[in-house]
Copies of this chain bind each other. A is one copy, B any other.
Amino acid sequence: MDQRLSLITLGVADVDVARRFYERLGWRVGLDVQETVFFQAGGMIVGLWGRDRLAADSGVKDGGGWGGITLAHNVASAGEVDRVIEEARAAGARITREPAATFYGGYAGVFVDPDGHAWEIAHNPGFPLGDDGSITLPPG
């Protein structure tokens, strides 16, 4: 299995409501088909689909709330962390960790989208960002 991720699907209560939340953050839908919305996100894709259908399609039992996965969106400065967290707050997200210095020498905050999916917005000077938005681990 190659070491890469192609697509991440977020199960949501209402695809239109979730879509509008991400659109308020400035995201633009690339494909809207069969009650699924897809965003091109760098070299991968983020999808929104009904959570019940996603659980059934994945062959799993839904535990209810958060299920052990947190997403992160890294940015180039602490100021950008503050800006994105404020954008998320204005878009209706719940801020579960206000931006602050982190134990790894960075600066980050966390918002939770209307369906409970957690996004850390982070500035981590140890993980360089490319001009194309890619992120690279430092040499081990």
Contact = CB atoms under 8 A, between A and B. Distances in A.
B6 A73 contact: yes
Given A60-B65, A97-B58, A120-B58, A40 B3 contact: yes
The contact size tier of chain A is 35 or more
23 contacts: A1-B27, A1-B87, A2-B133, A3-B26, A4-B41, A5-B46, A5-B71, A6-B72, A7-B122, A7-B135, A8-B8, A8-B70, A10-B69, A31-B140, A42-B44, A57-B97, A59-B118, A60-B66, A61-B66, A62-B65, A62-B66, A64-B64, A69-B117
Interface of A: 1-12, 25-32, 34, 38-46, 51, 54-55, 57-75, 84, 87-88, 96-97, 103-104, 110, 112, 115-118, 120-122, 127, 129-130, 132-138, 140
